[in-house]
Amino acid sequence: MRKPAVEKRLKEFVVYEKKLENLNTACRILNFDMQTKCATKALEEQAASVTEVSNEINKILKSKEYTKLIKQLFKNKDKIDNIYLKKSIEDKYVELCKIENISLKELEKISDTYNKAFGHWQNAKLSNNFELFKTDLENIRTITKDLSQAWKKNKPKYNSLYDEVVQEYEKGISSDKMEQLLGNAAEKILEILKKIKNSKKKIKTDFLHKKVTKDQQEKIAKLVLSAMGFDFTRGSLSESEHPFTDHISRNDARVTTHYYENSFISSLYSCLHEGGHALFMQNCNQNALDNYYDNKSLSQHESVSRFYENVLGKSKEFISFLYPKLKKIIPNILEGISSQELYEAINAVKPSLIRTEADELTYTLHIYIRFEIEKMLLNDNLKIDRLPAVWNSLYKKYLGIEPKRDSEGILQDVHWSSGFGYFPTYALGNFCNAMYYNEMCKSIDVKSELKKGKFDKINEWMKNHVYSSADLLDLDAWIFVITNREFTSADFVQYLKSKYYEIYGIK
């Protein structure tokens, strides 16, 4: 195919992409509604609507015309000058190979299974009954295996099913590499945790659990989102059972949080976390968006969200900026409490059952537990019936505590209702942001900026160094471009050690 013919076919591809993007936007809006406003009894009906739109997407992806177009463009990809369109064609071709041997009817059934699973998970959690979600998990595991078997054409070699699955979230990294990074970090974290347990330092935290109204927490949420640079003209804040961020469209980044009257810092830090995701979306590479290419990995995304939540948001400097503003909103809560005491309370270490409420030190242990369980589920065919018991035993092993209810154990996270392999990206993201934080500090006095509550220089550095190359590079290459160093968990461990040894007076 000559170049003019390739250019003509690319224009046809863009027309398809516009239509697919519109349909995907409709799906995202429906899904967002399911997780925020939809009545519990209407979840099944809403799921059916999502499935209907998903079916229209699948009809395009499985059509002879679209299939032929992608194959032709992939065969002539070296004649495509636009790097984003070229990468998009390469990715579309891989996705085409994955589903080529799956019928449209089977794709509809898969879509329906995932859409219903969310509602079943939500009902199971609210009812504190794992039995209501058990069948969904078995179905999702079966789908995962069936999709792997169906993908025969141009399939890379993987050491295990889990290795294949994690590529959906983080391309180019093996589960063995994850095991090395997470395992080493977990070992060092347990050593730090042991020293903290032996420390004589006692941190006052009771005031963090005094009642703070939803209205007060909403004010705090909007305060921190505004401070970090979230653009409310291109985004919004809502409430959901499990906090999340959804990039509905280019100018529609939706952040959600959950308000607990006896834990105001929960919503405060979920907003900083989800706001980090939103900043990535609001400041991402516009050339990529202009060419319908969004290939940011989950580790890249989680590195940013946890950077704003923890490295910046839980720093002594940012809390000193926040302290007088919080005193105006919740004066009764902080009466007699100093800025230093607030900083120490927010960063106090105490092993807990809920991942999203975990302190910064023990959080990675929560991820390591899920990583181990996911490997057992997919590689060793762990019986679904045994999941709660395995979960509880690993919490006892690593954190010294055990859940008493399914809702605070196996059912606490929504992620498995849409598949396996996401969880390790939270920890990988931590390792990344510790590395680029050290790099950022070479050119910006980050602590000074945070004391003033100024994020302009920080956000600009992130835009130029972190966001700009995210769509085009796998994790190892991406972090090397930013830091000129190989990917490691050592920076993160050192960051934790320095922070917590200072807080707890450990020499």
Mapping DSSP onto H, E and C, the string for 248-293 reads EECCEEEEEECCCCCCHHHHHHHHHHHHHHHHHHHCCCHHHHHCCC
**Whole-angstrom Cα distance, residue 294 to residue 305?**
17
Q: Which helix (H) or strand (E) holds 69?
A: helix 64-75
Write out residues in the chain with pLDDT < 50, as ranges.
none
Distance between first and last Cα of the chain: 68
HSE-up (13 A, CA, CB side) for residue 235: 26
Q: Are 155 and 97 in contact (CB under 8 A)?
A: yes
- pLDDT tens column, 192-217: 999 999 999 999 999 999 999 999 99
Q: Are 498 and 188 in contact (CB under 8 A)?
A: no
* CATH architecture designation of domain 175-504: Orthogonal Bundle (1.10)
Q: Give ranges for CATH 1.10.1370.30 in the chain.
A: 175-504
Res 120: pLDDT: 95
**Residue located via tokens 């080529």:** 100
- Sequence letter at residue 79: K
Res 458: pLDDT: 98
pTM listed for this prediction = 0.92
Residues constituting the chain:
507
- Those residues whose C-beta lies under 8 Å from the C-beta of residue 356, and which sit 6 or more positions away, are 242, 243, 266, 270, 412
**Whole-angstrom Cα distance, residue 118 to residue 112?**
11
